[in-house]
Amino acid sequence: MGRILIRVNEEQVSEPIASQVIIEYKVPMVILSAHINSKGGEILVEIPDDTEDKIVEALRKRGVTVSVPKSIEVDSEKCFSCGSCVALCPVEAISLTSDSSVQFDKEKCLGSTCSICVDACPARAIKAVKPNGNGSQNNREKKS
Amino acid sequence: MIYSRSAFSICIKGKATTLSNEGKTRTVEEINAKIRKGDAQVLTAEEMKKLVESSGVEVAFKEVDVVTTGTFGAMCSSGAVINLGHSDPPIKIDHAWINDVEVCHPGAAVDIFIGATNMSEKQPFEYGGGHVIGDLVAGKEVELRATAYGTDCYPRTQVKTTLTKDDLNQFCLLNFRNGYQRYNCAVNSSDETIYTYMSKLLPRFRNATYSGAGELNPLMNDPDYETMGMGTRIFLGGGQGYIIGEGTQHSPKNLSGTLMVKGDAKKMTPEYLQGAAFTKYGTSLYVGLGVPIPILNMGLAKKTAIRDSEIFTDIVDYSVPRRDRPKFGQVSYKELKSGSITINGKKVRVSSLSSLKMAKKVSQTLKSWIEEGTFTLTSPVERLPTSTVFKSMRQTEEIPFVVSVMHPAVTCTEDEEIRAIAERIVTKSVNHIVVVDATGKLRGIVTSWDITRAMAEGKKALSDIESRNVITAKPDEPLEVASKRLAQHNISALPVVDIERKVLGIVTSEDVAKLLGRRY
Ligand code: SF4
Ligand code: SF4
């Protein structure tokens, strides 16, 4: 599953853009987080990897901004397992193991759209990094 | 020797002292003799608790010679004394920086002190004295810059060089407050995220933080300080150090004792001394510290069995920037370590600031040193005081609070017409109207500018123009804090509300300027 971040502006807020794309392409989208008000908003969705390119294109054609969120990485050399980040995470992607080490679940993490934990790390061990490998070759980083 | 359980149970209740083992003791010398022979029985605090639970205090006392404790947390009152050696020609340092962090020069020509919280002038809040100490300990090269006014005996006025710890004469870790016996649990009741020395606190109790190792903490395992004081040899920063007395703010009656410690930083290891950066707060140093507790008597065996469920601390609201902050009851370290606590009936996720994993590692490392015979115990030449009282600052000048300048707010309700509100603005000659509901709770705010614009544009409904996202003040906040908030959000008034968001009044930038004598 790949993650994309959809940004809509004031005019687009009331349009059913996402639903149109879902119906047209018959692709399931899982909404991971959404911050929307009358002035616009951001929706983080998860879609199957092999549909990513065409979905991104379809959304962009409708004029919304689509980007691929950076993922969050913890530098295990720097992390001293203080635990400061654990309770901050809205999706419980960070937990303590039985030996009190801090464990980080990349699958659950919302990525750079959240970043709540990043500036709370006293060891500065948490960083937003560009997603590597699969599919980033076709310039998905660029905002349309 | 076999101790009878019934005799013992009388003893621990303190009703009889003559019956059995109360008088039975061992000495530090006896324990050291065993350490040298490789016979000493050493348990970590964690293991000791389990033993007492499974076999009782008597057995634990009989079998265990030493219990090792540990803690690893941000200890801001840490620093290092360094002697640089003399340059040629010599310099009497006036100002000095290491890696752009200003250091103090409290003594003679080339003695300096690096405080953990001093921040880099180039990367403030990200790099500081704690990091300099960590880098030096790790063997990294640092850059020293110093200036001086020049004297007949110390003519040089500038020096710039690079150094590693091997180039220093003395590199002594000198921490004036370490190892807090227990610490607060921090929450934030306000509407905004705050950044504190207790880390990032999300609005409206969305998280809680705490610090301290609880049942592994050195002072918690010897709360009467029977074995600790000046001269007690300890684990410090991965090397050996000493307690040199009570730490600053030592408050034993409040179960908040602290330690002042020193040790040779050249022999310490980077794993146990790590610089830290707290966003919008500043820099610090994480210190690993462990104290061995000789089990000299049955009482100490019992004390070292203390559990997290018996150690309580206050839940404190850090959004109120006052010395006495509101509290929301108490929690045990057991609850804190469980990951969630209950505040006003609501579940709040909690995590620690200090590392339990590292605290355990400290106690295990100290245990292995004693078992290997590379670490022997010392008796303190003077025990830590048990009756010191921690006083607040004597203030000869009072500072103003929001409550002392706020005045009644001119209000309206959402069903009123813009015209009516416009008239109120004129008759009351105010710039802000606070929108409230029928019970007086805050709904929004409108300014005279919003009203003028609405009238020009022919808008009628208040709901079209009011701002709902209102930045507020609390009555007991220092005015200085409210004034910073005005500047930060570039606004000119703050409705003052109570905890239920009932409007108590309003404070404007004019009020603030009048009292603080400044314009924001
Ligand atoms: S970025 Fe957000 S979702 Fe990811 S680990 Fe940090 S707090 Fe959790
Ligand atoms: S806040 Fe940083 S150092 Fe602490 S556990 Fe999380 S990643 Fe590790």
Q: Which residues contact B426 (CB under 8 A, 6 or more apart)?
A: none
pLDDT at A133: 40
Triad B55, B59, B63: Cα angle to 5°: 120
Q: Which residue has the higher pLDDT, B211 or A37?
A: B211
Q: How far is B239 from chain A (nearest CA, A)?
A: 18
Summarize the confidence of residues B293-319 as an average pLDDT.
96
pLDDT band at B3; cut points 50, 70, 90: very low
- The tokens describing B302, both together, are 């019992």
- What is the rounded distance in angstroms from the CA atom of residue B263 to the CA atom of residue B356? 23
Which residue from A87, A99, A101 is facing B207, i.e. has the nearest CB? A87
Calculate the CA dihedral of residues A108, B348, B205, B312 and round it to 10 degrees: -130
Q: Which class for B323: exposed (0-12), middle (13-18), buried (19 or more C-beta within 10 A)?
A: exposed
Helix (H) or strand (E) holding B72: strand B71-74
pLDDT band at B13; cut points 50, 70, 90: very low
Average pLDDT in chain B: 91
pLDDT band at B10; cut points 50, 70, 90: very low
Q: Exposure string (b/e) for A122-139, b if CB count within 10 Å is 16 or more?
A: bbbbbbeeebeeeeeeee
- What is the rounded distance in angstroms from the CA atom of residue B25 to the CA atom of residue B226? 13
The percentage of residues in chain B with a pLDDT greater than 90, rounded to a whole number, is 75
pLDDT band at B53; cut points 50, 70, 90: very high
Q: Is A81 in Cβ contact with B208 (below 8 Å)?
A: no
Q: Is A122 in Cβ contact with B276 (below 8 Å)?
A: yes
Active-site positions of B read: 153
Report DSSP letters for B167-210, one per residue: G-SEEEEEEEEE--S---EEE--SSS-EEETTEEE-TTTS-EEE
pLDDT at A28: 84
pLDDT digits (tens, 9 = 90+) for B419-428: 888 889 999 9
Q: Does the C-beta of A74 come closer than 6 Å to ligand 1?
A: no
Ligand nearest to the CA of A33: 1
Nearest CA to ligand 1 atom 8: A89
Task: At A12, give phi and psi (nearest 5°).
Answer: -80, -15
* Whether residue B6 has pLDDT greater than 50: no
Domains of chain A: 2-68 (3.30.70.260), 71-129 (3.30.70.20)
* Whether residue B518 has pLDDT greater than 60: no
Q: Is B126 in Cβ contact with A87 (below 8 Å)?
A: no
Ligand nearest to the CA of A90: 1
Cβ atoms of B432 and B410 within 8 Å: the answer is yes
* Pocket-forming residues, ligand 2, beta carbon under 6 Å: A 74, 79-85, 102, 121, 123, 125-126
Q: How far is A80 from chain B (nearest CA, A)?
A: 7
* Whether residue B105 has pLDDT greater than 50: yes
* Whether residue B229 has pLDDT greater than 90: yes
Domains of chain B: 68-76+173-383 (no CATH), 85-168 (no CATH), 402-519 (3.10.580.10)
pLDDT at A131: 61
- What is the rounded distance in angstroms from the CA atom of residue B219 to the CA atom of residue B207? 28
Which residue in this structure is represented by tokens 């469980």?
Answer: B338
Query: pTM of this prediction?
Result: 0.80
- What is the rounded distance in angstroms from the CA atom of residue B215 to the CA atom of residue B69? 9
